[in-house]
Amino acid sequence: MRFSVVRFQRPLVLLLAFAVMFGAAPAWAQGEWEITPQSEEALRRGLDWLAANQGPEGNWGSNDLGLVGMGALAFMAAGHAPGRGKYGEPLKRSLDYIVNNGKPSGLLNKADSQRDMYNHGLATFVLGQAYGMTTTHDRRMNAVLDRSLKLITNTQCEDGGWDYRAQRQERGHDLSLAVMQAKALRSAVDSGLEVPPEVIDLAIKSVREHYSPQHGRRDLPEAEQQKVPGQFTYGKGGGGGTIAMAAAGVVCLQEFGQYDDWRIQKNMDVIGASVSELPTPKDGNGIMPYDAYTMYYVGQALYQVGGEDWEESYPKLRDILVNSQVKKPGDASDHGSWRDQGIQGGGRVGGNEGKLYGTSVACFILAIPNRYLPILQEGRIESLKQKFGANKN
C-alpha cells in the first residue's frame, strides 16, 4: 500500500507565504477577542526562546522526535516556512532532524520503544503539515512521510487502536495513542495524500468505544446514553475520564469528519466547565492552564468545534498563557518560555525538554487564530464528511 499525492492548487498557501515573507499582519483572525497585542508579543517571545535554545542539531538536546516536531509546529503555526525569514532556519533544522532520523521501516522514533507511536504520530503530523505548507517539496521528506503514514496503517490493531510500540496486535492500548495517529492521518488528507478509508472506519469505531456515560452505564442503548452526561476515557472500560481524554476524543471525531456525533458536545460541556473554573495564575511563573499534553488537545478541540465553545473559552486560555509566560529579559534560557506543568498539576516532561514542550504548545495555541496551518484552514471539509460520514453514531 502506497500513499499517493493528489495534484491540487494551493493559492491560499502561496498567499500566506508572501504575507510572512513581507511581514504582513495575520489576515484570518476574527478580531481582538482572538488575538491581542499582548498575545502577539507573547508569541514572539516564545518563538525567540525556541530559536535561541534550539542548538545546531535542531533538536533542543532531545531525542524525542515528537517533541522536536512540536518545536517545528510552533514556527509553522505562526506562518513561517523552512529557510525563509526570521525563524526559517530554526524551522528547517528541526524538520531536517526528524527526516534524518527516520528509520527504513518508516518509524519516527529514536527514543525508548515504549514511545514509538507517541513520537511517530506527532512527528508524522508535523511532516504532513510541512508538506501542505510548501509548494516545492523535498523528495527526502516526501519519502519519509510516505513510509511513516504506511507504518501507521500497518500497525493499526485489530480493534482500530494502536499500541505504544510500533506493532500490530489484537487490541490497541488507549485513546492517547489513537488521537496522535488520527491527527497524522488527517494531516495527510489535508495535504492532498490518500488515506485508506478502511483504516479511518476502524479508527472511528475504536474511538467511540472509549466513550463512557455517567456512572459507567456503557450497556445502555445509545438513545439512553444521550440523555445523561458522559465523556471519553483513557481506556475502553471507562477509566481515566480526564480533560485530556475528553479533548482527545473530540479531536479524533473532528479529524475524521464526524462533526455531528452527539458525543462531541457531551465532552465540550466537560471541557467548558473545566476552563471556566481555572484560577488566575501568578504572573511569569511559566505554568500553563493545563499540562502541555492536555493544553494541546483542549485548544484544538475548542477551535475545531468553534462557535460558543471557542468564543467563550479561548480568550481565557490565551490570557492565562500571556500572563504566565516567564519574563526575564537578559536570561535567554528562561525568558519567553513556559514549562510542561498546568495550574492544576500534571506534566511529565522535565528540564529543558519540558520547556521545549510547554513553549511549543503555548506558541501553537497562541498562533491558532492566524489559521496558517493547513489543518486549521479547512474547517468542516465536506469531502471528509462524505468520505467518512457513513459511519453510524
Per-residue pLDDT tens digits of the chain, which is 393 residues long: 344 433 223 333 333 343 343 333 444 667 678 999 999 999 999 999 999 999 999 999 999 999 999 999 999 999 999 988 899 999 999 999 999 999 999 999 999 998 999 999 999 999 999 998 876 668 899 999 999 999 999 999 999 999 999 999 999 899 999 999 999 998 888 767 778 889 999 999 999 999 999 877 878 889 999 999 999 999 887 777 899 999 999 999 999 899 999 999 999 999 999 999 999 878 899 999 999 999 999 999 999 999 999 999 999 999 999 999 999 998 989 999 999 999 988 888 999 999 999 999 999 999 999 999 988 875 554 444 555 554 555
Supply the pLDDT for residue 8.
27
Q: Which three cell numbers stand for residue 248?
A: 482527545
Supply the pLDDT for residue 298.
98
Sign of the four-CA dihedral 99, 105, 110, 115: positive
Supply the pLDDT for residue 28.
61
11-388 has CATH 1.50.10.20 classification: yes
Nearest-angstrom CA–CA distance, 91 and 71: 8
Helix (H) / strand (E) element for 176: namely: helix 175-190
Supply the pLDDT for residue 267.
98
In the chain, where the domains are located: 11-388
Q: How many CA atoms lie within 13 A of 70 on its CB side?
A: 31
pTM of the model: 0.90
Nearest-angstrom CA–CA distance, 304 and 9: 24
3-state secondary structure of 84: coil
DSSP 339: E
3-state secondary structure of 288: strand
Q: Which three cell numbers stand for residue 226?
A: 444521550
Sign of the four-CA dihedral 39, 317, 374, 50: positive
Supply the pLDDT for residue 137.
66
DSSP 196: -
Supply the pLDDT for residue 295.
97
Nearest-angstrom CA–CA distance, 70 and 178: 18
Residue 124 CA to chain centroid, in angstroms?
11
Q: Which three cell numbers stand for residue 142?
A: 516526501
Q: How many CA atoms lie within 13 A of 19 on its CB side?
A: 16
Q: Which three cell numbers stand for residue 34?
A: 482572538
Supply the pLDDT for residue 11.
33
Residue 300 CA to chain centroid, in angstroms?
7
